[in-house]
């Protein structure tokens, strides 16, 4: 007996893959052009393209043409030739010893960051993330640091949705996020004081590749009350040096 539901799901997956393959070869197609090249109805192409836009796999411009979106680029960037965590662990350990706070290694994935590695603070009050879990990039220091390196088109996609606010310090509009990113670019590191969780903050930097694209984030995470007595500029300077070291280590690991 044929499982019609499974067949329908497979058919939808095949159409989605076909649509992305078509756009990879012919960037900037209208829904009519997509339907023609895919051999499907216009309504079907329209529904499928809309779903892929929501997920970030496609973007639609002002002329109603579809192109591959940042979701595809993020997936490609996620395919690392080198496993980040073991290569950068010595840097995390140095920061952990110097700062005495929780150290996180993250990677930007669309509008969120993913936690790849951490060293937990030995102090009684500290913050812990679950490896593999996510946080909103616009509300945490390593996320802001990595967003600050994105090309304008990719950043526009990140900020093209209603931004959820989690605390009173969460940025609520795209303009607020852009203003924070300007500060990050000026000083070279990001500072978050309770924008995601009210009692947790941090200082973060991005690690970039040879094109200047973010490939990782490194951050020092701590309770906000301890941030008041900490020299955040000194932490930022230390992280900036760690970022340079991380980039060098990754280049060596990749044979560049």
pLDDT in tens, 37-62: 988 899 999 999 888 888 777 888 77
- So what's the pLDDT on residue 2? 37
Which residues does the chain have with pLDDT short of 70? Answer: 1-10, 27, 70-82, 256
> Are 205 and 196 a contacting pair, CB within 8 Å?
no
- So what's the pLDDT on residue 18? 86
- So what's the pLDDT on residue 92? 97
The two tokens of residue 179 are 């203003």
β-strand 134-136 against 112-119: which pairing, if any? antiparallel
For helices 84-99 and 232-253, the axis angle rounded to 10 degrees is 160
The two tokens of residue 130 are 């679950």
- So what's the pLDDT on residue 200? 95
- So what's the pLDDT on residue 82? 66
> Are 138 and 163 a contacting pair, CB within 8 Å?
yes
Predicted TM-score of the model (pTM): 0.72
All domains of the chain, ordered by start, with CATH? 4-68 (1.10.10.10), 77-253 (3.30.450.40)
> Are 218 and 92 a contacting pair, CB within 8 Å?
yes
């Amino acid at each position: 007996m044929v499982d019609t539901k499974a067949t329908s799901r497979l058919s939808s997956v095949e159409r989605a893959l076909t649509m992305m393959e078509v756009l990879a070869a012919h960037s900037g197609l209208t829904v009519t052009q997509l339907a023609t090249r895919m051999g499907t109805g216009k309504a079907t192409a329209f529904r499928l393209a809309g779903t892929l836009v929501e997920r970030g796999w496609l973007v639609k411009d002002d002329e109603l043409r579809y192109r591959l979106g940042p979701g595809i680029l993020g997936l490609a960037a996620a395919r690392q030739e080198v496993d980040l965590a073991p290569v950068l662990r010595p840097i995390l350990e140095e920061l952990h010893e110097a700062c005495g706070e929780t150290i996180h290694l993250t990677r930007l994935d669309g509008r969120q960051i993913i936690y790849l590695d951490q060293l937990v603070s030995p102090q009684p009050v500290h913050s812990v993330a679950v490896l593999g879990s996510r946080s909103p990039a616009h509300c945490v220091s390593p996320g802001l640091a990595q967003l600050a390196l994105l090309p304008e088109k990719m950043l526009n996609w990140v900020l093209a949705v209603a931004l959820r606010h989690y605390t009173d310090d969460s940025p609520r509009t795209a303009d607020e996020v852009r203003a924070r990113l300007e500060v990050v670019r000026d000083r070279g590191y990001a500072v978050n004081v309770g924008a995601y969780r009210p009692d947790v903050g941090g200082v973060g930097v991005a690690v970039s590749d040879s094109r200047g694209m973010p490939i990782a984030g490194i951050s020092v995470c701590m309770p906000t009350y301890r941030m008041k007595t900490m020299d955040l500029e000194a932490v930022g300077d230390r992280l900036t040096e760690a970022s340079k070291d991380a980039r060098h280590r990754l280049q060596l690991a990749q044979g560049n």
